[in-house]
Amino acid sequence: MKCFLFALLFSLFAIKANEKPNVLLILVDDMGYSDIGCMGSEIPTPHLDSLASNGMLFTQAYNTAKCFSTRASLLSGVYFQQTDKDFTNTNLIAEVLKPQGYTSLWAGKHHASFDPRTRGFDRFYGFLGGAVSFWNPSMVQREGVGKPANIGESPWILDSDEKTLPFTPDKDWYATDAFTDKGIAWLEEYKDDKPFFLYMAYNAPHWPLHAHKEDIDLFKGKYDAGFEAIRAARFKRQMDENILGPSVKELAVPDWNEIWSELSPKEKEQYARRMEIHAAMMKNLDDNIGRLVTKLKEQGRLDNTLIFFLGDNGASPESPDGRVKNFDVNNLSGDETSYPSIRKSWAVTANTPLNLYKSSSFEGGTNTPMIVHWPKGIKKTGTNNHTPVHLVDIMPTLVELGGAEYKASEKIPPMQGVSMTALFKGESINRENPLFFQYAGGSALRDGDYKLVRRNYKKPWELYKVSTDRVEKHNLAKEMPEKVEAMNKAWQQKFKDMTGSSFTDHLKENEQKKKEKAAKIAKRKKK
């Protein structure tokens, strides 16, 4: 009898010890590399800072440099070159976890055309486009408010059976808050013993710069010193607190669009206002993440919830002005009648100390701070981990921890990343293959200490020893031509292996498509 009771107790303990973790995956949009407090920012983000200090902060986490390609790779575990904007020929995380009893929930941005509930997700509340107004995603003018500025209307799926277009919410609706409200409601609804996978795909702080007035007011005057001064202050904090480790010793050469001292007083005022709203959006994001964490604490589920926080690309230099309807360049109110962006020089600042920004294959385009918080599973908390990781590593991590099976096939490629669970234990990982990057003309390959990168396919390759020069300041291409050639061959081969065609053929095909499109447009104009 004693043996039986011991065996029963041991069995129950083993089941508890091997309990599958809940997963909260938080992806934010167009956040700069240094935009949160624990990365050197002046913006207060206490909730994210707490997750980092009680978890693990990864300082060399890579994405794909672009919104839609990052989202496809993040949820599928393969490079974007192996799929497309609708994630075809892939297994999604939700599909892989479903046989293991996971409830999968998604709130926020999608940037694809399919309904997530057809791909393993049980619930979805969000929009299918790439950018929307945070206050009013439609062009419908609401009573008591001016005409909404927008680049167009995206379909929404509001946790119901059908797509909604246009979506004109109530006046007190704000996207970041609404997504969190839905996430919290789901956490309340699904309080059974099943593990959950909650994907919070926030569209903040992507343009348009929209924020609550009371949040914007908190940052009044904070950016009057200008781009260079804010960038220097962020870098000083990064160095003083040894946030980035030995790979960063200096700032990247800035690709300024403007010099602060050369701007007129009016221009300085307007630029400062842009960053005030951006900071307010980041502050609001942090508040909302705090709400999610508080709910998990209240439910007693925080200890066994694996939280990932990361961004989809570097800060954005884009200016969507010409695409916006009802646009007034001088309207920097932060409400639905406005549609500003931070523009290039603030993007350079937001990405301190790295080189360039969104859409670029250089470090400022492909890097995000990544916070991992899991009290039950992270051995040594409060550490900054400088191991290079990639968002394709999240799928194999969850496959391992969820006891799931990833089924590769003739159509579905194998996972491209490696599990990060060893890093959570304070150990190292073994990555056999280099990290691959290609978006538009930009290209890169990171292999161990070295990174091969170019601005576009018409520019020569540049080579950097990023283990000691992450700001990509000292080009070694002329000193190490054999290394450049070897890495170029590896990049070309990887592209061909993933796409089935050479990069040269790919370029020819794209040029042909452009000609055909131009011909169709010309034909329509003649009619």
The residue ranges of DSSP E strands in 393-495, in sequence order, are 435-439, 442-447, 450-454, 462-465
Report how far residue 313's alpha carbon sits from residue 210's, in angstroms, rounded to the nearest whole number.
20
Classified by CATH at the fold level, domain 20-128+175-401 comes out as Alkaline Phosphatase, subunit A (3.40.720)
Cα 428 from Cα 35, distance rounded (Å): 28
Closest Cα partner for 450 from 498, 492, 482?
Answer: 482
Distance (Å, whole) CA 447 – CA 451:
6
* Domain ranges within the chain, ordered by starting residue: 20-128+175-401, 441-526
Question: Are domains 20-128+175-401 and 441-526 of this chain identical in fold?
Answer: no
Task: State how far Cα 198 lies from the chain centre.
Answer: 16
Residue 205, preceding peptide bond in cis (omega within 30° of 0): yes
Q: Quick check: 35 and 205 in contact, CB under 8 A?
A: yes
Does domain 441-526 fall under CATH 3.30.300.180? My reply is no
- Note down pLDDT in tens along the chain; length 527 residues: 444 444 444 333 333 434 899 999 999 999 999 999 999 999 999 999 999 999 999 999 999 999 999 999 999 999 999 999 999 999 999 999 999 999 999 999 999 999 999 999 999 999 999 999 999 999 999 999 999 999 999 999 999 988 999 999 999 999 999 999 999 999 999 999 999 999 999 999 999 999 999 999 999 999 999 999 999 999 999 999 999 999 999 999 999 999 999 999 999 999 999 999 999 999 999 999 999 999 999 999 999 999 999 999 999 999 999 999 999 999 999 999 999 999 999 999 999 999 999 999 999 999 999 999 999 999 999 999 999 999 999 999 999 999 999 999 999 999 999 999 999 999 999 999 999 999 988 999 999 999 999 999 999 999 999 999 999 999 999 999 999 999 999 999 999 999 999 999 999 888 888 888 888 777 777 76
385: how many CB neighbours lie within 10 A of its CB? 20
pTM over 0.85: yes
Q: Is the dihedral of CA 272, 274, 277, 281 positive or negative?
A: negative
Spatial separation of the C-alpha atoms in residues 396 and 418, rounded to whole Å: 6
Q: Which residues, other chains included, contact 509 with Cβ-Cβ below 8 Å and sequence gap of 6+?
A: 501
